[in-house]
Amino acid sequence: MQYELVIKGGKIATQSDIFTADIGISAGKIVAIGANLSSAKQEINAHGKWVLPGGVDSHCHIEQLSGAGIMNADSFETATRSAAYGGTTSVISFAAQHVGMRLNKVVADYAKLAQQGAIIDYAFHIIVADISDKNLSEDLPKLISQGHRSIKIFTTYDKVRLQDEQILDTLLCARENGALVCFHAENDGLLRWMSKKLLQKGYSTPNFHVQSHPRIAEIEAINRMIQFSKFIDQPIVIFHVSTIEGIELIRAAQTEGIKVFAETCPHYLFMDADELASPKIETAKKLCSPPQRRKADQHALWDALERGDLQIISSDHAPYRFDETGKLSNGANAPFNAIANGMPGLELRLPLMFDAMVSRGKLGIKKFVELTATAPAQIYNLAGKGSICIGADADIAIWDGEKQVTLGENDLHDNTGYNPFVGRTIKGWPETVLLGGNIIIHNGELKAKPGSGKFINRAMGESMRPTGNLVSEMNPELNFGAEIY
């Protein structure tokens, strides 16, 4: 058999195995894995290199208007270009509804933007901020059936958050139609109260952002969403976990049999609150929510990744330029609560994690593949993604494990204009990246065109299925029929 492409002699790693082999690719799929595969129209010499699944980044804000009305820095073209340079070949971005919008139009508008600009493959989480006007009764069920199998809910932020009753309604809709529900989990009242008290005392500079997001705000909201999940028997994902206590709640819920998945992000693994200690406006570059925590929380997050309490490392790419269009849209002297939250992360997620997990030996190459590619693909049911196996999409990153890169001030390929990890030296870099068997990055050169990425239509997966362990108070067959339990 003649293959369209053969990757020769690379060190292949999956979440369970490490071995040296050739990979044969035809029609965009991996069709053979073995020694000394026959000739191909094209060959890539990968001897001495790591051959890994293309990364799956399941939490990215792209071409999205924030609740405060600020457009983030990246288009689908610039964001996915940056992702490709970092070895990521699939992203889940957001179709962000605001109050007054119909969900079907929101998703159609984002789909059009992605079709025109995306360089890698993509799916959407649907941000639900308004369940009125048939959004919940008609639009959301239809969109789920069309392959949009994940929903995001905010428990804070004025213009996008849902109240508890609305959250329960949305959870039930997801349960009935087969979708995951993901949460930005922080207690809105605590954030408002702390911000008000700090500003009343004149504590307004960016460094007080940390105090304005007390850890108890995350703890309370995670616990509440877990209890809602148990009550409805609806699988959920907790986004960007940052605290020891949050981890403990998630682990306890999983032990109890509640279907709760969770992620964390590189900025919580490699940064702590000391990064935000300066009152200078430059600190705004690293503001995100929840904020970076203590070193003890960092250690606990790594332990939770090793144990499997947290299953995913995402970037939470939320880029805002450090100028009047982004971070400084309310002026250079704006109080901390008027500064856009978020950092770029799509391009550096994999190199940062490779350096820590592989080059420095923390958790190892198999866990690296699992947390950054295989697990997110499985949890969100991205068929064909995140694995190197026969029949999978030929989305592959070939890594030079010896290459050292010192990060510069503005050396990323997104449109943010700064690098939050400037000065850090990392070892290991993806030199060749393939999407569907086509080379899209090679030796620092982009080979793909905007619009070449494809929408990933997702069926209902195992992670989305209720456990069947309904508590008696929330068994619809009993309660909605007014049965006495």
Q: Counting beta carbons within 10 angstroms of the beta carbon of residue 482, is it exposed (0 to 12), middle (13 to 18) or buried (19 or more)?
A: exposed
Cα gap 68→287, rounded to integer Å = 15
Q: Counting beta carbons within 10 angstroms of the beta carbon of residue 344, is it exposed (0 to 12), middle (13 to 18) or buried (19 or more)?
A: buried
**pLDDT for the residue numbered 427:** 98
pLDDT tens string 43-98: 999 999 999 999 999 999 999 988 778 899 999 999 999 999 999 999 999 999 99
Mean pLDDT computed over 469-474: 75
- DSSP 3-state assignment of 12? strand
Cα gap 358→360, rounded to integer Å = 6
Q: CB under 8 Å to 14, separation ≥6 — which residues?
A: 53, 366, 369, 374, 387, 388, 389
Closest residue by Cα to residue 56 from 387, 291, 353: 387
Cβ atoms of 139 and 131 within 8 Å: the answer is: no
Cα gap 408→62, rounded to integer Å = 23
Label the pairing between strands 425-435 and 396-406: antiparallel
pLDDT tens string 191-243: 999 999 999 999 999 999 999 999 999 999 999 999 999 999 999 999 999 99
pLDDT tens string 403-436: 999 999 999 999 999 999 999 999 999 999 999 9
Cα gap 213→217, rounded to integer Å = 7
Mean pLDDT computed over 4-19: 97
Cα gap 159→136, rounded to integer Å = 18
pLDDT tens string 181-205: 999 999 999 999 999 999 999 999 9
**pLDDT for the residue numbered 135:** 98
Report residue 478 as tokens.
Answer: 């009993």
Query: Taking the domains of the chain in order of start, what are their residue ranges?
Result: 55-368+458-464
Cα gap 93→82, rounded to integer Å = 14
pLDDT tens string 84-103: 999 999 999 999 999 999 99
* pLDDT interval class at 482 (50, 70, 90): low
pLDDT tens string 123-168: 999 999 999 999 999 999 999 999 999 999 999 998 899 999 999 9
Single-letter code of the amino acid located at 289: S
More confident: 296 or 38: 296
DSSP 8-state class, residue 54: P
- Whole-number CA gyration radius for the chain: 22
Asked whether residue 273 carries a pLDDT value surpassing 70, the answer given is yes
**pLDDT for the residue numbered 483:** 59
Mean pLDDT computed over 347-376: 98
**pLDDT for the residue numbered 24:** 97
Whether domain 55-368+458-464 has CATH 3.40.630.30: no
pLDDT tens string 308-358: 999 999 999 999 999 999 999 999 999 999 999 999 999 999 999 999 999
Cα gap 468→232, rounded to integer Å = 10
Q: What angle do CA 339, 341, 345 make, to 5 degrees?
A: 140
* pLDDT interval class at 484 (50, 70, 90): low
Mean pLDDT computed over 378-402: 98
Cβ atoms of 309 and 247 within 8 Å: the answer is: yes
Q: How many CB atoms lie within 10 A of CB 192?
A: 15
Between the two ends of the chain, the Cα-to-Cα distance in Å is 64
Host H or E run for residue 408: none
Asked whether residue 26 carries a pLDDT value surpassing 60, the answer given is yes
Cβ atoms of 349 and 283 within 8 Å: the answer is: no
Cα gap 250→226, rounded to integer Å = 8
Report residue 304 as tokens.
Answer: 């939770």
Cα gap 298→270, rounded to integer Å = 7
Cα gap 401→252, rounded to integer Å = 37
What single string gives the DSSP state of each residue in 270-316? H--GGGG---SGGGGGG--SSPP--HHHHHHHHHHHHHTSS-EE---
Cβ atoms of 271 and 286 within 8 Å: the answer is: yes
Q: What is the pTM of this model?
A: 0.96
Q: What share of the chain is helix, strand, coil (3-state, %, to 5)?
A: 35, 25, 40
